[in-house]
Chains A and B, each alone.
Chain A
Amino acid sequence: MDFALKKEHEMARALFKEFAEKEVKPLAQEVDETEEFPRATVEKMAKLGFLGIPVPKEYGGQGCDPLTYVMCVEELSKVCGTTGVIVSAHTSLCCDPIQTFGTEEQKQKYLVPLAKGEKLGAFGLTEPGAGTDAQGQQTKAVEDGDSYVINGSKIFITNGKEADVYVIFAVTGMIEKRGRMIKEISAFIVEKGTPGFTFGTKEKKMGIRGSSTYELIFTDCRVPKENLLGKLGQGFKIAMHTLDGGRIGIASQALGIAEGALERTIAYTKERKQFGKTIAQQQNTQFQLADMATKVEAAKLLVYKAALAKANQKEYGFEAAQAKLYAAEVAMEVTTKAVQLHGGYGYTREYDVERMMRDAKITEIYEGTSEVQRMVISAALLK
């Protein structure tokens, strides 16, 4: 077993780090303050192929592996959690299900422009009454001639108004399973601009404030039959598979936020003087930093292990759940300690750690709360 990174991963990290420092970091505070989607940054990332890192070259991607994608989200999130989640939602939640379940025609029509970054992707599963409980879905799709007609709404959709291509889940009927009638869910590819597809309110969020989080509304929205993703009734499987990958992306975002907060705290504690010496010379600070760094490293190993599992295994939901659970909780703990070690300054918006603490919180909630991750992990243990 060798923990050394391969040459390509070292070079890719250097690339992502340089890009994040030069192009993303200078805007991070402004993006948070103004809550404006960083469109110019997304265009730069598109040009460099950052929106199609794990997608094969024949579909317009970069042909890299999941670990390279993880490092991209990690390095972006070290300086800006918003930018990290834009790439994560686009790649894991839209490119991945189309690559995995799409027909050749769907891949050519949607995956190629998504991977090239000409189009941005989003994913719509959550509804007001269906978060953790996907069976609570109310959005319906009814077959009508050569189309499906979708009615309903989705909330908290990342890249909401900025995306061009959406993977949307809807109930297409009822089926019997172990003597009970349950909802049959299917997945559809919906393009922005389809008549009947509009946007509701923009969420005002605690963190990742530059990410475009919107309600999607479908009113007699007619989607051609060829846009059914996978088979009819395969939606739940597609959603769960997609979220397994998505969790690795969010785990990477959480890892990056934690690393960013740790870096800034190390620098700050070496400068800040109290009682005639730097606070880094106080044993309390040293012990806090040691704990923070150790947990960050443990989170990194879990996240990278999950990325390798995605590359090498058919099923990787267990590894993804462990990585997301741990990295998200470490992100929250490390950013909270980072604010504490910054003292009063850390509570002001002048210092990055304040933003990072707000950004960290969502990683414990979206794409499966920490409680859901515990359910997934324990279910595998007790199988």
Chain B
Amino acid sequence: MKIVVCIKQVPDTKGGVKFNPDGTLDRGAMLTIMNPDDKAGLEAALRLKDKYGAEVTVITMGLPKAEDVLREAMAMGADKGILVTDRVLGGADTWATSQTLAGAIRNLEYDLIITGRQAIDGDTAQVGPQISEHLGIPVISYAQKIEIEGDSVIVERQFDDRYHVLKAKMPCLITALAELNEPRYMTPGGIFDAVKADITVWGRANLVDVDDSNLGLKGSPTQIAKASDKVRKGAGEKVNLDPAESVDYIVGKLKEKHVI
């Protein structure tokens, strides 16, 4: 079985967020991590590899430094890493990103594609389903459990207060939830191997069946009007009163601000 896992290097929210003048994220200046939903997707793929045997390829689109996230995935147990990087791909929204990744994946053989549900820097949950659409394969989103039966995959899909059990013939695409599993740690030996491993680097020329008009900032229908870091709350006010006085105090404050 061949599994392709799409992963993304995202800003580590612990490290603060920086923006470019055009409102897009300044990815070069931020501390980064592997997107949590993607990491769960990778873990799911590695568990399928442990159970059924599989070759796991991780792929990412990003700056050259996104290579780090591929090496991390390989230190966890992924077999191959592919970095799709090119100036013309920069500034991509979900549409251009999914076009790019689909264009890259067309070079590969696969039974299963796993993506995270959504990335913590965009929260759109669009890239996975869009890739499946471009490739013309079924998608099962929000997977909380994945099993293989013959040439099919059986997935529990989270759905509000219940879950659906869906079966699809492979090849298909699954989007994974962070709650799917507890991703494994890297191993020290895995790190040493991953650092030495070859990473395949692809650019625009390697993308199959994708039109230039669908790539990069120019190919992105989304235009960012404004972006800003979250506004820090003030220190607030702390008072020490007995319960009855506290209630009067709070009600007084709410009235003062015309909340009640």
A residues adjacent to B (C-beta < 8 A):
6-8, 11-12, 15, 18-19, 48-50, 53, 57, 61-64, 68, 72
Contacts and interface: CB of A to CB of B under 8 A. Distances in A.
B191 A8 contact: yes
A11 B189 contact: no
Contact of B189 (A7, A19, A62): A62
How many B residues are at the interface, by size bracket?
A: 10 to 19
Contacts, number: 46
16 contacts: A6-B195, A8-B192, A11-B71, A11-B191, A11-B195, A12-B191, A15-B75, A15-B187, A15-B188, A49-B187, A57-B189, A62-B189, A62-B192, A63-B189, A63-B192, A64-B188
B29 interface: no
A6 B72 CA distance: 15
Contact of A64 (B71, B72, B185, B192): B192
B186 interface: yes
A48 B192 contact: no
Interface of B: 71-72, 75, 185-189, 191-192, 194-195
A45 to B, nearest CB: 10
Nearest to A19: B185
B188 A53 contact: yes
Which of B71, B187, B192, B195 is packed against the most chain A CB atoms within 10 Å?
B192
10 tightest A-B contacts by CB? Answer: A62-B189, A62-B188, A8-B195, A49-B187, A11-B191, A64-B188, A15-B186, A7-B195, A53-B188, A63-B189
A72 B185 CA distance: 14
A62 B71 contact: no
A253 to B, nearest CB: 18
Contacts of A72: 188
B191 A61 contact: no
B186 A11 contact: yes
Given A62-B192, A63-B192, A64-B192, A11 B187 contact: no
Contacts of B186: 11, 15
Contact of B188 (A6, A7, A18, A68): A68
